Amino acid sequence: MAGSQRDLFDVPDEVAYFNVASLSPVLRAVRAAGESALRQRARPWEIGEADWFTGVERLRALAGRLFGDDAEGVALVPATSYGFAVAAANLPLDAGQQILVLADEYPSGIYTWRRLAERTGAGIRTVSRAPGQSWTEAVLEAIDDQVGIVSVPNVHWTDGGLVDLEQVAARTRAAGARLVIDASQSLGVMPLDVRSLRPDFVISVSYKWLLGPFGRGYLWVAEEHRDGRPLEENWIVRAGSDDFAALVDYRDEYAPGARRYDQGARTLFEVTPMAVAALEQILAWGPARIAAELSAVTTEIATRLTGVTVTEPRGPHLLGVRVPGGRTDRVAAALKAENCFVARRGDAIRVSPHLHTNQADIDRLVTTLNASL
């Protein structure tokens, strides 16, 4: 792999798409897998009992490789909100303790932690950056013995600002707190090893940097929490559920690992093959190689832009661009008019490429943005 892999994506030449952090373009292989799955689903008499499990377990194994080769720790969930809810239902928290979050963080996590704080009498500690301060420095400064849960991403979703998870994880453990990582904006690009970080829960969705379908997410659960309380009680997560004739012989035991946290209707005949195809391609490239390619793209963009500020330190794949003098609306409108798709999050123009991005896309973005200031 060297440079653009655009031929593997369904992105026309006239489109410069820099909004993967919102919704990724579809790989041709993922679309083909979805079309094949729909044809199979249309003929249910050809679906056997084993088919309720084989694709799901293949997907779990692939996702496990992204979490440091721990498939048994992976639960299949529909969204980040579901993953956060599992974490909130299974982490200890006392009245008066604090849940640490970043300012302007992704709403699903914030809403979940607010509800937990309300239920337990805990508080929310929102971390902001002082001028010139990194997110890592701000988080490390804010962790003390009053903090019960630290909930952070690897990169901030609005502008790609980097959080050094190794440092944060060490400080969290030293404070006796629990660590929850929202990896939705980094998993599949930035390598993540749960053996080193030792978090309690890690959450990610499929439809951003994992290039997969909507409605599928992944939750990694630390071993100490794998005997906890699931959000729902569905049949397929019970021990022996592959014996359809014996489903009326109700079982209290769950399937091993983190499977008890799988969502109901997890098989998702139409979606699972798409998610499998996406993860197969991600793993074939390798997150470290993807990060290197995208770092070259975002660095070139940052270097060629004039009259703006760029978030630093940042992840290799996300660029937060701030323009002066209230010109953000004008810049965003100019980019859209040129079929150059970015996002506005907070006060930043967020630029998020992937391996479909080519030199013509970069030139269009830089030329249009510089000219619109």
pLDDT by residue, tens only, the chain of 373 residues: 566 899 999 999 999 999 999 999 999 999 999 999 999 999 999 999 999 999 999 999 999 999 999 999 999 999 999 999 999 999 999 999 999 999 999 999 999 999 999 999 999 999 999 999 999 999 999 999 999 999 999 999 999 999 999 999 999 999 999 999 999 999 999 999 999 999 999 999 999 999 999 999 999 999 999 999 999 999 999 999 999 999 999 999 999 999 999 999 999 999 999 999 999 999 999 999 999 999 999 999 999 999 999 999 999 999 999 999 888 999 999 999 999 999 999 889 999 999 999 999 999 999 999 999 9
Domain 6-26+288-372 shares a fold with domain 41-284: no
Write out the CATH class of domain 41-284: alpha beta
User: Could you tell me which CATH number the domain at 6-26+288-372 has?
Assistant: 3.90.1150.10
Boundaries of every domain in the chain: 6-26+288-372, 41-284
Burial of 304 (0-12, 13-18, 19+ CB in 10 A): middle
What burial class does residue 289 get, using C-beta atoms within 10 Å of its C-beta: 0-12 exposed, 13-18 middle, 19+ buried?
A: middle
Residues β-bridged to residue 152 = 181
Cα torsion through 77, 83, 88, 92, rounded to 10: 90
